A and B are shown apart, each in its own frame.
Chain A
Amino acid sequence: MGVLDHIWLGILAVFTSSPAFTIADVPISITIVMVVLGFLGGVIVGATPGLGGPFAMAISLPILISIFGFNADALLPVFGFLVGIMKGSTIGGAVPAILFNTPGTPDSLMTTLDGYPMTQRGKSGKALRIAHFSSVSGDTFSDIILITCAPFLAIWVEQFLDFPEKAALIILSLAFIAAVVGSNVWKGLLSALLGMFFSYIGTGEDSYPRLSLGSENIGEGLPLISAVLGVLIIGEILRALEEMWRETQKNKKITRVELIGDQKLKFEDIKRIFPFISMSAFIGTVVGALPGIGSTLAATLGYATGRKVYRGKRKFGEGAMEGVAATEAANSAVAGANLIPVLSLGIPGNVSAVFIILAAESIGGFNPGPAVFRLMPDQINSEMVIAFGLFTMMIFANILNWTFGGLFMRWMGIMIKIPKQKLLPIVLLLTLTAIYVQQTNMFAVYVTLFFGLLGYLMRKFSISPLPFVIAYILANNLEESMRQAFAVTGSDPWFLFASPISIIFIVISILVVIFFARNQKDLN
């Protein structure tokens, strides 16, 4: 079976499998319904300050798995919902940033710089339309790069990388993520090492589980979903609750501004912002393809580059529409490109990708990595069909974004009225419940709270939780690759230096850490 057959099967799987209902005798598949629902949910949570795509993914994943079960048929509907959330939340985040100077997601922070001044001048409608147009353009560009690059990269990896090289590649990815995320390389490394340490609990090839302290529960290993949601979601909830608690002590109140003005996006406007969208889409895609660098940095780089080349009358930061376009195109272009390392290498680069891996691990039948794009003579590679199904859903979500996204996004200004201090405790219970229904064990809830506390402390000490989560997911793969590499090289302890490619990866890992550590010194 060739690549084209797999592409066609992927498209068919999305549009024709398991019809949920029919419209004028045309069956609508459950996968399509899930993409639409995820997309609408994503716009809503993106527009709600304090929430965001990862929150929605975390809460919905256990429910989705309960609905669709643990079989390969569940993969596409579950991925469809997650893709919908991912796409919807990227445009939703701009709404509160533009209308109320409150970024819905961290990467919309730069959107406030020009978006909110536009609102103050009565141009909020135009600002929202520019944000939508730029965001969807950047996202579409990024998806095209993903669809065209990921399979080739995966084939290259599969052809040229053996176990020692794969182990070295995971070390390089972890070193890179630890070095570039957050304010300090050492803190990034500490975060990644802690993630690896906790993932080794209850594992190993000995007759007894490692680091279990004699506990039967711990001996079975800490649930992946508890560790991920604890550090990422509960940790963030605790931090945000404390911040609001401190604000209440100081009697601070959120200032509100009336929504005024509604102007259309004209062709001249598109001509003006197009160069900025192009630059930012490129920057966002490159940044997104590198593991660990999130959309916040992409937005900052896109904005900074846009400001350098901008020659207009109204300055950046004073309500220039090019500023909104540069930021939104860059942060949205990260979304698709972030899946390049997931699908081609099996390495999650950001939080959304972590949830795709989490869904794949929970359901089974799909192991993101180079083997996904392996062609087998006279056989269908079901993983490749799912990968092309994933691409089809991303294209479909983009079409939704282009057609209905703008209108739905502009309605979502109302979400700012939901008070964060009332919403987050509900999300806390919702997350704990979501974990319980999947694990049906209070031990999983206690583990989640423990990791929540760890995530809170990491945030307090400016240690990024992302390297922790990614290292937690990759640690066992790394150990397995190292064991296999050790075996295939005839128990050579220097197996990481056995081939030029693995030596290059290890040298780059060391250089990345040294480079960013020195850079940090200069900044200090």
Chain B
Amino acid sequence: MAPTMVASAILFVSMALLINAILSSRALRALENSAMDMQSFIFLFKLTFIIFIALLLMLYSGPLLVEFTNLMNGENNSYRLLKGSLPYKYIGYILGGFVMIFGSIGLVENKFFANGAWLSIIAVAVLTFLYDVPFDNLLLPPNGDY
């Protein structure tokens, strides 16, 4: 019952906001000067793309590397077994984290500088050290999911 009541209240408040905008004849002006213009959508699209690629790398770099190693050495290991050992333990987080930081810096600065890449590498290394090295019980992404 509580969600239904809250959803009804959301509908009521949204209608009140809409009617208020129409009555004060600000609706058209508000649409013209909307906070979400085309630039916002372009920015969101670009950033979403960067984060999407970063998360893909984070999730699948480790398992893909295991598959590649299996193929090269004729073994039959799984990522679940190897996720505690190097380099599988860190590869997803480091690659995904690097793309997230370097991509976001490049997007905002409109250029991809070498110092941005170095900073991203250092930042990911520091974060890996901060979370993983001192604590045995913490799992970096995506190792808890496997």
Q: Which residues of A pack against B, CB within 8 Å?
A: 63, 66-67, 184, 186-187, 189-190, 193-194, 196-197, 200, 204, 210-211, 238, 241-242, 244-246, 248-249, 421-422, 424-426, 428-430, 432-433, 436-437, 439-442, 445, 449, 453, 456-457, 460-462, 475, 479, 524
Instruction: Tell me which residues across on chain A come within 8 A of B65, comparing CB atoms.
Output: none
The reply to whether A246 and B39 form a contact with Cβ atoms under 8 Å apart is yes
Per the bound structure, the CA–CA distance linking A208 and B104 in Å amounts to 41
Instruction: Tell me which residues across on chain B come within 8 A of A429, comparing CB atoms.
Output: 97, 100-101, 123-124, 127
How many residues of chain B are within 8 Å of chain A by beta carbon?
A: 51
Per the bound structure, the CA–CA distance linking A461 and B34 in Å amounts to 8
Instruction: Tell me which residues across on chain B come within 8 A of A249, comparing CB atoms.
Output: 39, 110
- Known: A429-B124, A442-B59. Contact between A461 and B104, CB under 8 A? no
Q: Which residues of B pack against A, CB within 8 Å?
A: 2-3, 6-7, 9-10, 13-14, 16-17, 20, 24, 35-36, 39-40, 43-44, 47, 51, 55, 59, 93, 97, 100-105, 107-110, 116, 119-120, 123-124, 127, 130-131, 135, 137-142, 144-145
Within the complex, what minimum Cβ distance (angstroms) separates B80 from chain A?
Answer: 14
- Known: A63-B130, A210-B3, A437-B139. Contact between A238 and B35, CB under 8 A? no
The reply to whether B131 and A187 form a contact with Cβ atoms under 8 Å apart is no
- Known: A63-B130, A428-B104. Contact between A190 and B40, CB under 8 A? no
The reply to whether B10 and A193 form a contact with Cβ atoms under 8 Å apart is yes
Instruction: Tell me which residues across on chain B come within 8 A of A426, comparing CB atoms.
Output: 101, 119, 123, 127
| The residue from B7, B20, B105 contacting A425, defined by CB atoms under 8 A apart | B105
The reply to whether A422 and B116 form a contact with Cβ atoms under 8 Å apart is yes
Closest 8 CB pairs of A and B: A440-B144, A425-B104, A460-B35, A436-B141, A421-B108, A425-B101, A200-B3, A426-B123
| The residue from A187, A246, A445 contacting B55, defined by CB atoms under 8 A apart | A445
- Known: A190-B13, A197-B6, A426-B123. Contact between A241 and B145, CB under 8 A? no
The reply to whether B142 and A442 form a contact with Cβ atoms under 8 Å apart is yes
Instruction: Tell me which residues across on chain A come within 8 A of B140, comparing CB atoms.
Output: 433, 436-437
The reply to whether A430 and B144 form a contact with Cβ atoms under 8 Å apart is no
Per the bound structure, the CA–CA distance linking A70 and B109 in Å amounts to 42
The reply to whether B35 and A422 form a contact with Cβ atoms under 8 Å apart is no
Per the bound structure, the CA–CA distance linking A469 and B60 in Å amounts to 33
The reply to whether A460 and B36 form a contact with Cβ atoms under 8 Å apart is yes
Per the bound structure, the CA–CA distance linking A53 and B48 in Å amounts to 27
The reply to whether B127 and A433 form a contact with Cβ atoms under 8 Å apart is yes
The reply to whether A440 and B139 form a contact with Cβ atoms under 8 Å apart is yes
Per the bound structure, the CA–CA distance linking A159 and B102 in Å amounts to 57
CB closest chain-A residue, reference B30: A461
Pull 23 A–B residue pairs with CB atoms less than 8 Å apart, ordered by A: A184-B17, A186-B17, A186-B20, A190-B14, A193-B10, A193-B13, A196-B2, A197-B3, A238-B47, A241-B107, A242-B43, A245-B107, A246-B39, A248-B109, A421-B108, A422-B116, A426-B101, A426-B123, A426-B127, A433-B127, A437-B140, A440-B145, A441-B145
Per the bound structure, the CA–CA distance linking A262 and B90 in Å amounts to 48
Within the complex, what minimum Cβ distance (angstroms) separates A104 from chain B?
Answer: 20
Instruction: Tell me which residues across on chain B come within 8 A of A246, comparing CB atoms.
Output: 39, 43
Within the complex, what minimum Cβ distance (angstroms) separates B135 from chain A?
Answer: 5
